A and B are shown apart, each in its own frame.
Chain A
Amino acid sequence: MRRAELLMALVLGAFSVYLMVKSAELPIGWIPDEGPGGGAFPFWLAFGMLICCVWIVARWVRRKSPPSRSTEPYLAVTTRSTIIRVIVALTLMIGAIHIIGIYLSIPLFLLYYVRVMGGHRWPVSVAVSVITPVVSFFFFEIALRITLPKGYTEPLFYPLYDIFM
């Protein structure tokens, strides 16, 4: 936990510097008759972020904040693998949306989560994986008229469009 606290402060501090540099691409000073330049607001706020990070590190050195005193691991061993698997599954699902579209990647994700991670029986897993995208289709595409990304599976939906829209 103690190492994570320092690492997070350093990463966020570096991000603050990046934000300051990025803001400075626009004028950060005073422009006559126009007020503060477009970059001033984010620049000084990012500077504030940097100060906070320095402050957090200072407290870390003096062991003031609870995480900087904690000897517990940052990610508990018992839950670490679950969390990582969830994050990887989510990333793969979003990545897959670009290629195979939302109506194939969502069932795959649900099937993995409910069946493999949750250990539920097949009927339950399949039911969840089929009902969720079907409901999404009717709610978003039919009721709200919001087209969800379908990637290469788009042609498969032409008949459905013909029926419902």
Chain B
Amino acid sequence: METFDLLMQGFGIALEPLNLALVIFGCALGLFIGAMPGLGSVNGVAILLPMTFLVPPTGAIIFLAAIYYGAMYGGAISSIMLGIPGASTAVATTFDGRPLALAGKADQALITAAGASFIGGTISVVLFTLFAPPLAEVALAFGAAEEFALMMLAFATFIGLGGDDIPKTLFSIFIGLVLSAVGLDIISGEPRLIFGDLPGFFHGINFLVLAIGIYGIGEMLWTIESSHDGVKVSQASFSIRRIATHLKGLKHSLKASVMGSFLGYFVGILPAAGATPGSIMAYGMAKTMSKDPDSFGKGNIEGVAAPESANNAASTGSMLPMLTLGIPGSPTTAILLGGMVIWGLEPGPMLFVEHQEFVWGLIASLYVANLFAMLINLAFIPAFIGVLRMPFTILAPIIFVLCLVGGYAPTQNMHDVWLILIFGIVGYLMRKLDYPLAPAVLAIVLGPLAETSMRQALLMSDGNLMIFIERPISGPIMGGAVVLFLLPLLKLFRKSRVSASD
């Protein structure tokens, strides 16, 4: 029952007036960000992280987590009303959400999405509360070799589960790690990779500079390009009675929501997977298990419930490895992790020992955020639909300004603002050629930790690489990483054998 006491203590923190206000504000803002086409949780968290210096770390992470949650709810709004996903995590919601909206059932789809998100959020937060403390306890025994092996595993999931362009994924991981090495060498203190002898590189490249560049500037350029043609907003009518009817109707899609929640949660834990594939898998599963699979894609309400519950569950799931192991489960949590470092907290299992109020305040705030995100969503659906009509030519320049000013704030150095612009443009150009960029963001956050743990482990073993394989916990983790690395190669090999035998 110790967990229960700690959780109650966490509620005490999450319900403090300031924190509660931050949760509500964060949820509303997250819903807004999620509802806007092109912007998702990761963009919101990256752009708004510098603004959180105003409040203490616990309040800051509660605020950002609320944005994360709200954005997962909000993504459904533009998926249903515009037919374009409000965030990549809501792609699967368009499959059935759009046909429903076109059939005049937009209100049913929106309310089911909110209800399913709530179910996904609730189930996953309960799972989180049960899993996190024991996992953190196990992780306390980890040494440098285990830490390094875990990071290898995290990167390997990108290779094994990511897209099919392996060299581009690998490149993204490598460049993220190299960029993280810029600045003063952590052990000898010597300056390294000081490009053009610019003094700005001495303090290294802040992960936030890369994150704002890619998810702020780069994402906006991408959206400007892809939303060039006008889109039409569907009509939806609301009344208290209709909302009540649809909420009662939720029980028809309950099975799909619950399944989606469990699936989303466990997929969300994996670093490379996260909410987007989680929701697509949940959609596929709901379709296969349905009695009427043919109606999917034509406006089956279960096709909205499954992915929406899964993406919320996945966002909670991705926080599990971030808090307990210090390995982020998604790009958004990678940015949260980087934020924790800025706030002076060392991510990883020690958090559960040294900063209990921080950890449990955050966990309790997830329960609160989940509730408020649903309430705000249901109460203000018409307002969020209005957001979709807001002209992008006003929103875009304001977001650009926010990126640049926000990027300046942490270090107060114009050098970083220029870097944000460069990363934004280069990131946009690379993304057009299918280079995945999330691995690079994860890598720049994990880079310093990876290098320290590798060098410490090698120092312990006097340069013997076997240390990563011989140790009882590190070995199997490394083994898992190797399997994931080889997975796509095996697939390739099998494919070529099949085509050869043809």
Chain A interface (Cβ < 8 Å from any Cβ of B): 1, 4-5, 8, 12, 19, 22-23, 25-26, 30, 34-39, 41-42, 45-46, 48-49, 52-53, 55-56, 59, 65-67, 74-76, 78-79, 82-83, 86-87, 90-91, 93-94, 97-98, 102, 106, 109-110, 113-114, 117-120, 124, 128, 132, 136, 139-140, 143-144, 146-149
Report the nearest A residue to B393, measured CB to CB. Answer: A118
Report yes or no: A36 in contact with B400, Cβ–Cβ below 8 A.
no
Report yes or no: B455 in contact with A26, Cβ–Cβ below 8 A.
no
How would residues 386 to 410 of chain B score, 1 for a CB under 8 Å from any chain A CB and 0 otherwise?
A: 0000010110111011001100110
Q: Which of B233-241, B424-432, B477-485 contacts A (4 or more CB under 8 A)?
A: B424-432
- Bound-state CA distance A34–B188 (Å) is 9
For the complex of A and B, 4 pairs with smallest distance between CB atoms: A118-B393, A38-B185, A113-B397, A55-B167
- Bound-state CA distance A159–B166 (Å) is 58
Tell whether A78 pairs with B228 under 8 Å between CB atoms, given A36-B458, A38-B185, A144-B53.
yes
Tell whether A67 pairs with B408 under 8 Å between CB atoms, given A41-B455, A49-B174.
no
Report yes or no: B181 in contact with A79, Cβ–Cβ below 8 A.
no
Contacts of A38 in B (CB 8 A): 185, 187-188, 190, 192
Report the minimum CB–CB distance from A95 to chain B (whole Å): 9
Tell whether A97 pairs with B170 under 8 Å between CB atoms, given A25-B192, A49-B175.
no
Q: Knowing that A19-B193, A36-B454, A114-B393 are A-B contacts, what are 9 other residue pairs whose CB atoms are under 8 Å apart, sorted by A's residue number? A: A38-B185, A52-B174, A56-B168, A65-B434, A90-B421, A118-B394, A140-B409, A147-B412, A149-B414
CB within 8 A of A48: which of B170, B185, B195, B398?
A: B170
Contacts of A83 in B (CB 8 A): 221, 224-225
Tell whether A132 pairs with B185 under 8 Å between CB atoms, given A76-B225, A94-B421.
no
Report yes or no: B170 in contact with A52, Cβ–Cβ below 8 A.
yes
- Bound-state CA distance A52–B225 (Å) is 28
Report the nearest A residue to B424, measured CB to CB. Answer: A90
Report yes or no: B430 in contact with A8, Cβ–Cβ below 8 A.
yes
Contacts of A139 in B (CB 8 A): 51
- Bound-state CA distance A128–B394 (Å) is 8
Contacts of A37 in B (CB 8 A): 188
CB within 8 A of B434: which of A25, A67, A143?
A: A67
Report the minimum CB–CB distance from B51 to chain A (whole Å): 7
Interface residues on B, range: 35 or more
Report the minimum CB–CB distance from B247 to chain A (whole Å): 38
Report yes or no: B430 in contact with A42, Cβ–Cβ below 8 A.
no
Report the minimum CB–CB distance from B163 to chain A (whole Å): 10
Contacts of B225 in A (CB 8 A): 76, 79, 82-83
Report yes or no: A52 in contact with B421, Cβ–Cβ below 8 A.
no
Contacts of A106 in B (CB 8 A): 401, 405
CB within 8 A of A26: which of B170, B175, B190, B421?
A: B190
Report yes or no: B400 in contact with A90, Cβ–Cβ below 8 A.
yes
- Bound-state CA distance A65–B167 (Å) is 10
- Bound-state CA distance A4–B428 (Å) is 13
Report yes or no: B192 in contact with A23, Cβ–Cβ below 8 A.
yes
Report yes or no: B192 in contact with A102, Cβ–Cβ below 8 A.
no
Report yes or no: A82 in contact with B228, Cβ–Cβ below 8 A.
yes
Report yes or no: B414 in contact with A97, Cβ–Cβ below 8 A.
yes
Report yes or no: B417 in contact with A97, Cβ–Cβ below 8 A.
yes
- Bound-state CA distance A149–B404 (Å) is 12
Report yes or no: A91 in contact with B393, Cβ–Cβ below 8 A.
no
Q: Is B466 close to A, CB under 8 A?
A: no
Report the minimum CB–CB distance from A78 to chain B (whole Å): 6
